Amino acid sequence: MTFKGKVKEVAKSKQSPLVLALDFPFEAAENLNNILIKAQRIIKVVHPYIAAVKINHHLTLPLGTFDGVQLLVKQIREQGLLAIMDAKVNDIGATNQTIAEYYYAAGFDAIIANPFVGWEEGLKPLFDVSKRLNRGVILLTYMSHKGAVEGYGQTVVDPYSGQQMPQYVSFAKKALEWGADGVVVGATVPQKIAEVKQILNEKVAIYSPGVGAQGGTAASAMRAGANYLIVGREITMSSDPAEAAQRILYTIKGL
C-alpha cells in the first residue's frame, strides 16, 4: 500500500485527521535527554487521538537521526501510527536522494520537500527513491507563517507556458504532475486551502499546519478542504497533551 493509502487507513481507524508535530523549544546541551523523555511521554498519551507524527530539524539536531529520533520512530510505528520527516528537502538531486535514503533507513514513512528546487536534478531523485521504497513525498505549497506570502504568494511566470500565476498555484500543479502524496497548506490561510483543493481535485491530500499557536483554527481549515491537520505547540506545550488533542478533535467532529 502507498503512503497515501496508509495514512488514509490509519486516520479512518483512529477516527482522527491529526498529525502531531513534536515541536519543543531549545534545551541546553546538558538537558537534551529531557527532550527525548518528553517526546516519548507525549506520544504515549496522545497516540489514541492522532494518525501520524511529524518530526522536524529541531528534534533531529539534538537527538540524532539514528539515536533518539530512531527510538521515537520505533515508538510511533509500534503505536500503529505513521512517521513523517519534515526535512523540507531543497537541494540538488544527488543530495536530496541521499537525505531521503538516510531518513527512510531510520524508519520514516514520508518526507516533506520544497518544490522550489525543481524536478530535473532536483526532486526527481527523491521521488524515485521514495517510490522504490514505497514511501511518501509531501510538498510545501503554502506555509503557515506570515512571511510565506513573500515566497509562496509571489506571482511567477511558468518557464514552459509563459503563463503568470501565484507560486503556490504552480506548486499545487506540480504536486499533481509529479505524483506527490500530499501538499502542505497553512491552516492560517483557509482561502488558499480552498483554492488548492480545487486544483488537486481530491487526487492529492492537503496537510495543514498552524492550528493554535500560529492563529489557524481546526474547523476553518477542515471546512476549507484540509484532509489532515498538523498540530504542534497547541499539544506539546499543553499541561495536558491528551486533553488538548481531544479538544481539537471535538471541534471538528460533525463538520
Residues involved in catalysis: 88
- Name the region of 250 (left: φ>0; alpha: ψ -120 to 50; beta: rest): alpha
Helices marked H in the chain = 3-14, 32-46, 57-63, 70-78, 93-105, 124-132, 167-178, 190-200, 218-224, 233-236, 241-252
**C-alpha cell read off for 167:** 507560486
Work out the angle at residue 157's Cα, subtended by the Cα atoms of residues 151 and 163, and round it to the nearest 5 degrees.
135
Distances from the Cα of 113 to the Cαs of 15, 32, 254, in angstroms? 27, 27, 32
Look at residue 52 and give its three-state secondary structure. Answer: strand
| CA proximity to 175, closest of 227, 121, 132, 123 | 123
Spell out the residues 6+ positions from residue 72 whose beta carbon is closer than 8 angstroms to its own: 22, 36, 39, 40, 43, 53, 55, 59, 63, 83
| CA proximity to 53, closest of 26, 27, 32, 72 | 72
